[in-house]
């Protein structure tokens, strides 16, 4: 039976509070704090993400307008611009990062994608990075170029669940391939990489971990042919070869055999050359695996459009990291709610419904399971004539 809670309070009920308190205790996050605890801080940041607040002043103005509801929303009784700004400045960002990974673990065990076609034993990951531009005069610590500041968010994305599995925030000047050193590879896992990550020493590390990589060959890729498998060109597979690297240093860094697959895509009229250390999977499945890499690009686009990771409510490095991790927490929480309530809406639609309903007292399950008329079209797809 509905208890009369606000929608935001019902949403935060899906957060494991006890585990968060354990993390806060580990980092002594509430030391010397009387009123505005780390839990209150987290909920304020997530409220701002869900309600799409543009700035710190915008968020506080909204909270102040509903000050009588703050306690019941879980925001605390002493929320002010000064308190929130100090919390963003001084609270340890690792508290929110560890809590994000805890929620990610839960989401990956509960959320499964319905449109993943391949049947594979291991997990499938895409690894890539996105740059977030900043103002150099304000974010001086993130200097990228002479007149530009930026940070880079390296992300390991679980393709089977559409949930980010690992987030690594660095200065934008760090080359993408260096972030591979931070990963721990799973046995039988597939790691789909863009050709910017082709570093044979690091790819051999994936091979030694009994995991598999799928990437694209660069234009200057040199190899020695060893063996060819039979292919059918009408499927798009032009060749399927076993090769060894030809260069002295390349062969030293990667001494094992590698598979080279050339694939022609009729939709884009382009030819792609894939490299992988998996010698058993059909060539078409390798091409399809690389096609799934596009999901991480869609994830970057989604969070930049619908969550607050481009405009920040604090100027320090600590504040920026807290906001990015709370954005990931919000994305993951929406996915968990969708899974638990078996909601027919997409993550985007859930976010839009919640943004307008946070201060209502309607049952959450009723809000998210109502039928909505969408994609209404005329019987003819052609534009009707005006005259």
Q: Which one, of 80, 87, 65, 107, lies nearest residue 329 by Cα?
A: 107
Q: In this predicted model, what pLDDT tens digit does every residue of 155-171 receive, in sequence order?
A: 999 999 999 999 999 99
| pTM summary value | 0.90
Q: What is the DSSP string of 76-114?
A: -S---HHHHHHHHHHS-HHHHHHHHHHHHHHHHHH---T
Q: In this predicted model, what pLDDT tens digit does every residue of 221-233 receive, in sequence order?
A: 899 998 888 888 8
What confidence score (pLDDT) does residue 381 get? 44
Q: What are phi and psi of 248, to 5 degrees?
A: -65, -50
Number of H helices, E strands in the chain: 14, 10
What confidence score (pLDDT) does residue 147 get? 87
> Nearest-5° angle of CA 357, CA 6, CA 106?
85
Distance CA 267, CA 54 (A): 40
What confidence score (pLDDT) does residue 374 get? 57
Q: What's the Rg (C-alpha) of the chain?
A: 24
Q: What are phi and psi of 126, to 5 degrees?
A: -115, 135
Q: Where are the domains of the chain?
A: 7-96+318-368, 211-281
The CA distances from residue 205 to 183, 185, 238, in Å, are 11, 9, 29
What confidence score (pLDDT) does residue 376 get? 41
Residues of the chain with pLDDT under 50: 1-2, 376-387
> What would the two tokens of residue 174 be?
């760090």
Produce one character per residue of 257-267: b if its CB has 16 or more CB atoms within 10 Å, e if not: ebbbbbbeeee
Strands 190-193 and 212-216: parallel
Q: Which one, of 282, 348, 314, 369, lies nearest residue 87 by Cα?
A: 314
Distance CA 155, CA 327 (A): 14
Distance CA 133, CA 144 (A): 9
> What would the two tokens of residue 290 be?
């690389």
Strands 270-276 and 258-265: antiparallel
């Amino acid at each position: 039976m509905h208890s009369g809670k606000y929608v935001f309070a019902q949403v935060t009920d899906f957060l494991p509070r006890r585990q968060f308190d354990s993390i806060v205790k580990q980092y002594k996050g509430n030391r010397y704090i009387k009123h505005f605890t780390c839990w209150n801080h987290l909920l304020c940041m997530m409220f701002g993400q869900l309600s799409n607040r543009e700035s710190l002043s915008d968020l506080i103005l909204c909270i102040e307008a509903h000050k009588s509801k703050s306690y019941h929303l879980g925001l605390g009784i002493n929320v002010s611009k000064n308190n929130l700004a100090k919390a963003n400045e001084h609270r340890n960002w690792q508290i929110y990062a560890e809590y994000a990974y805890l929620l990610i673990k839960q989401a990956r065990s509960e959320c499964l994608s319905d449109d993943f076609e391949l049947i594979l034993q291991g997990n499938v990951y895409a690894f890539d990075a996105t740059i977030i531009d900043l103002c150099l005069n304000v974010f001086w610590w993130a200097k990228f170029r002479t007149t530009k500041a930026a940070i880079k968010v390296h992300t390991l994305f679980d393709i089977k669940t559409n949930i980010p599995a690992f987030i690594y925030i660095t200065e934008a000047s760090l080359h993408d391939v260096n972030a591979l050193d931070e990963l721990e590879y799973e046995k039988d896992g597939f790691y789909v990489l863009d050709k910017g990550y082709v570093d044979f020493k690091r790819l051999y590390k994936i091979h030694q971990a009994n995991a598999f990589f799928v990437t694209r060959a660069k234009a200057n890729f040199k190899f020695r042919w060893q063996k060819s498998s039979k292919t059918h060109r009408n499927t798009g597979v032009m060749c399927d070869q076993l090769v060894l690297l030809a260069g002295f240093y390349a062969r030293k860094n990667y001494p094992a055999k590698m598979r080279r697959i050339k694939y022609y895509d009729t939709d884009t009229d382009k030819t792609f050359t894939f490299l992988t250390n998996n010698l058993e999977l059909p060539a078409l499945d390798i091409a399809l695996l690389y096609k799934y890499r596009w999901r991480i690009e869609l994830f970057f686009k989604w969070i930049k459009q619908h969550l607050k990771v481009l405009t920040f409510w604090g100027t320090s490095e600590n504040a920026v990291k807290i906001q990015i991790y709370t954005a990931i927490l919000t994305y993951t929480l929406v996915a968990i709610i969708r899974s638990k309530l078996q909601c027919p809406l997409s993550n985007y639609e859930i976010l839009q419904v919640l943004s307008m309903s946070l201060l209502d007292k309607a049952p959450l399950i009723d809000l998210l399971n109502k039928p909505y008329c969408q994609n209404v079209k005329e019987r003819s797809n052609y534009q009707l004539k005006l005259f």
